[in-house]
Structure 1
Amino acid sequence: MDQTDLLILAELSQNSRITMKELGAKVHLTGQAVASRVAKLEDTGVLEGYTIKVNPSQLGCFLHGFITIFTNSHNHQPLLAYLATQGHYIVNNYKISGEGCYLLECRFPSNEHVDQFLDGLSEHANYKLSMVIKRL
């Protein structure tokens, strides 16, 4: 990887729908040359995929929270099975070290949905909830 590859990644991070011709112009290469570099970044696993960014508030999920989970037993399967049924609320699920066993990033449409989610969660683990006030 060189500086040009880093520039390509930066541009694709900003707009993954950019044409190869436009991308090439931004990094001072032809469209064909930049397409070859992008293909190489994909083949080597540096570039894993392309995605979209969705505004959760526009979908009605106004409440944003982080939940640190403290498991009650060494068998995490019941907890993980419950979380799999609640995937529509979970943005990210991380297995962590330090305080807690898992860290969930969640989005909810209402306090009632948060309460229902936490009621189900409490059957499998203890938790600490932190709600987002504002993104800086």
Structure 2
Amino acid sequence: MLDATDQQIIEELAKNSRITMKELGEKVHLSAPAAAARIAKLEDNHIIEGYSIRINQDNLGYPLHTFLTIFTKNTSHQPYLAFIQTKQQFVVNNYKISGQGCYLLECRFPSQADLNQFLNALNDYVNYNLSIVIDK
């Protein structure tokens, strides 16, 4: 079970995973070595599994943000999954879900034309329900 200090460490790392151990220690009232030891323990216990960066997709030229609820046409999902592998430049996440649909596909596109081309090709494999993100 995590104590309050471990929770604080996780919150601070979520805000800025590049924080120095000295800065982190000051924020959670520990020495730098004690903060580093706590992080090592969280990693060893697989509480912290990795560190990542946030990318501004708009600035990369992918301003069109979509979610597609995917409905497979048959029990074999492999054709759809193989298609998605060929479109990784657009795919952010592909979640297998229960409830409405089989997958929730999150994508980013540089233009409406690219989205339309993707949807036309996607329709060969699955049916879908499209949602476009208006604001975050």
Aligned residues: 135
SS at match of 2:58: helix
Letter in 1 for 2:58: S
Is the helix fraction higher in 1 or 2?
Answer: 1
Shift of 1:88: 1.2
Aligned equivalent of 2:127? 126
Letter in 2 for 1:37: R
SS at match of 2:41: helix
**Normalization by structure 1: what TM-score?**
0.97
Letter in 2 for 1:105: E
Letter in 2 for 1:114: L
Aligned equivalent of 2:32? 31
Aligned equivalent of 2:19? 18
Residue 50, structure 1, aligned to residue 45, structure 2: no
Percent of paired sites with the same residue: 57
SS at match of 1:56: coil
Write the deviation string for residues 30-87 of structure 1: whole angstroms up to 9, x where unpaired: 0000000000001110001000001000000010111011000000001000001111
Shift of 1:120: 1.2
Shift of 1:119: 1.2
1:1-136 pair list within 5 angstroms: 1-135=2-136
State the alpha-carbon separation in 1 of the partners of residues 119 and 97 from structure 2: 20
**4+ aligned runs moved over 4 Å, structure 1:** none
State the alpha-carbon separation in 1 of the partners of residues 88 and 103 from structure 2: 15
What CA RMSD, in Å, does the superposition of the two structures yield over aligned residues?
0.6
State the alpha-carbon separation in 1 of the partners of residues 24 and 134 from structure 2: 37
SS at match of 2:101: coil
Structure 1 gaps of 5+ residues are: none
State the alpha-carbon separation in 2 of the partners of residues 88 and 48 from structure 1: 25
State the alpha-carbon separation in 2 of the partners of residues 87 and 25 from structure 1: 41
Structure 2 gaps of 5+ residues are: none
**Normalization by structure 2: what TM-score?**
0.97
